[in-house]
Amino acid sequence: MITIAIGPVSEADLDVLHPLLADTYWSPGIPRDVVARACANSICAIARDAGGALVGFARVVSDRATFAWLCDVVVLPACQGQGVARRLVRTLRDAPDLANLRRWLLATRDAHGVYAPLGFAPLSAPDRWMEIKAAAPYGQTTG
């Protein structure tokens, strides 16, 4: 049985989460202290197994009034394909602090099929968006 709740990330959670994120295409080599700071300054959803161990994670960066950026959605390999990522996102979308926001954004290279059923679609006006992207913020090139 996997449960999902919004709440703080513990040191034990960071022990699991940090290596997962450091091995992703979007944050290769990310330092643990950066993961900890990002979690402390975000709204985090954590999926836990019956024993309470972290098996999935997602976070939102938001002003809690108009905008949310969904990021760092990860699920342990043993739990992938079971709907955990979608449940994490639904939990965040349903959070009272994030209700009725004007815009949600995310970026993904390969998980469009996970997010499309939840209402995410390509940008309607991509020509309006601009970015500054650091190519190797943690010493490794990001995807």
pLDDT interval class at 137 (50, 70, 90): confident
How many angstroms separate the CA atoms of 35 and 102, rounded?
Answer: 27
pLDDT at residue 140 above 80? no
pLDDT at residue 67 above 90? yes
How many angstroms separate the CA atoms of 73 and 57, rounded?
Answer: 6
pLDDT at residue 121 above 90? yes
CATH number of 3-128: 3.40.630.30
Give the model's pLDDT for residue 133: 84
pLDDT interval class at 11 (50, 70, 90): very high
With b meaning 16 or more CB within 10 Å and e meaning fewer, what string describes 32-49?
Answer: eebbbebbeebbbbbbbe
pLDDT at residue 85 above 90? yes
Closest CA to 115 of 92, 142, 143: 92
**Residue for token digits 């993961």?**
35
